[in-house]
Amino acid sequence: MRTRRTLASLVALGATAAMLAACSSSSSDSSTSSSAPATSAAASAAASASAEPSTAASGATAADAAAMLPQRYKDKGEIDVASDIPYPPMELLAADGTVSGVDYDLSQALGEVLGVKVSFNKQAWDSIIPSLQSGKHDVIMSGMNDTLEREKVLDFVNYFDGGFALLVPKGNPEGITGLADLCGKTVAEETAVAQIDLIKAASANCPSGQEITILQLPTDGDAQNAVRAGKASADLLDAAVAAYSAQTAGDGSYFEVVHDAANPQGISPVLTGIGVLKKDNDLALALQAALQTLIDNGTYQQILDKYEVGAYAVPTAQLNGATS
């Protein structure tokens, strides 16, 4: 599900280890964490992989994918995933602390193909990339958009393709049909998400004095609560997340989704991917092969269909498919 959250800023690869560790330690702690440093892949391999999108060959078996897993992860017996939990339906958190959702289920299926355990760990969004750079975690699975800016730091194994949609109160009392209707209104957003740039661009086209006010809040749950409380007219979020929220919040009585008829997959479609540091390109290639195996055997589509986001499936496992 191509969820589209983005960081407000990327931590440069050249930052000191101390700074990265401090940034990582300030985030939410996970139930498990990895302190084993990953070894570097060949620079030429990383460069070639990020130069243009690559697609895994169909027909690869689970054994083929498992054979590609770098020895350091075989020795550790585990891949540590960083995820900003919850973010339904990508990451769901039950009252008893049980985690599920698209990203979680997919991570476990990938682990089965690769023959290692995959731990799924809570990590605050604003320090999720630093948690990889400090060695705390190995990969990111958190509805992260694949962008050209991020590809300077990460390789992405693309697994979701979708855009954004507007979540408004049930009945759409203000008659909102698209971004242009937000002029003079307040939009609630989670801090440091890609949608903020879209809203600012739309606001620039509003009449003077009728600009869009952006109410930034810690989580998307807070943004949805602001819409429900009448503090904001809408929340622009991943189309699949918006659809899930409209279906489930208040048993479907709280919200409805405003779709862009010209873009059935959502406003400003973009790929979502598993984020892996450039130096760990060999791990990204193994995950790409494992994902292709799941696509070929139908498991991938079953996972997406389980959470009613099957329409956002990708046909093949692509590496670094960003176009902007």
Q: Does residue 51 or residue 49 have the better pLDDT?
A: 51
What is the rounded CA–CA span in Å between residue 222 and residue 186?
14
Nearest CA among 155, 122, 150 for reference residue 54: 155
Sign of the Cα torsion 279, 160, 171, 263 reads: positive
pLDDT at 43 over 70: no
| Model pLDDT for residues 84-116, shown as the tens digit of each residue | 999 899 999 999 999 999 999 999 999 999 999
Residue carrying structure tokens 């400003």? 268
The yes-or-no verdict on residue 311 having pLDDT over 90 is no
Q: Beta strand 54-55 with 318-319: parallel, antiparallel or unpaired?
A: antiparallel
Mean pLDDT (the chain) is 85
From CA 136, how far away is CA 126, in angstroms rounded? 15
Asked if pLDDT for residue 20 goes beyond 80, the answer is no
In sequence order, the β-bridge partners of residue 159 are none
Alpha helices in the chain (DSSP H): 17-25, 43-51, 62-68, 71-76, 102-114, 128-133, 195-203, 220-228, 239-248, 281-297, 299-306
Topology alike, domains 17-162+271-314 and 163-267: yes
Give per-residue pLDDT as tens, 246-281. 999 999 999 999 976 667 678 888 899 999 999 999
Q: Of the candidates 115, 52, 129, 146, which has an alpha carbon nearest to the alpha carbon of residue 83?
A: 129
Exposed/middle/buried for residue 95 (C-beta within 10 Å: 0-12, 13-18, 19+): exposed
**Residue 21: pLDDT over 50:** no
**Closest-CA residue to 137 (of 295, 227, 29, 228):** 29
> How many Å apart are CA 10 and CA 284, to the nearest integer?
20
Rg (CA), the chain: 19
Give the pLDDT score at 240. Answer: 87
In this model, does residue 156 exceed pLDDT 90? yes
Residue of higher predicted confidence among 109 and 240: 109
Mean pLDDT of 141-145: 92
Structure-token match 């292709």, residue found: 292
Mean of the pLDDT values across residues 220-247?
A: 94
pLDDT digits (tens, 9 = 90+) for 51-87: 567 777 666 689 999 999 999 999 999 999 999 999 8
Per residue in 161-215, pLDDT (tens digit) is 988 999 999 999 999 999 999 999 999 999 888 889 999 999 999 999 999 999 9
Distance of CA 20 to the CA centre of its chain: 21
**Burial 150-172, CB ≥16 within 10 A → b, else e:** bbebbbbbbbbbbbbbbbbbeeb
So where are the chain's domains?
17-162+271-314, 163-267
Per DSSP, 291 falls in state: H
What pTM value is reported for the model? Answer: 0.76
CATH among 3.40.50.1820, 3.30.413.10, 3.30.450.40, 3.40.190.10 for 17-162+271-314? 3.40.190.10
Rounded to whole angstroms, the Cα distance separating 58 from 299 reads 14
**Phi, psi of 61, rounded to the nearest 5 degrees:** -90, 170
pLDDT of residue 193: 84
Round to whole Å and give the CA distance between 200 and 85.
27
163-267 is classed CATH 3.30.300.30: no
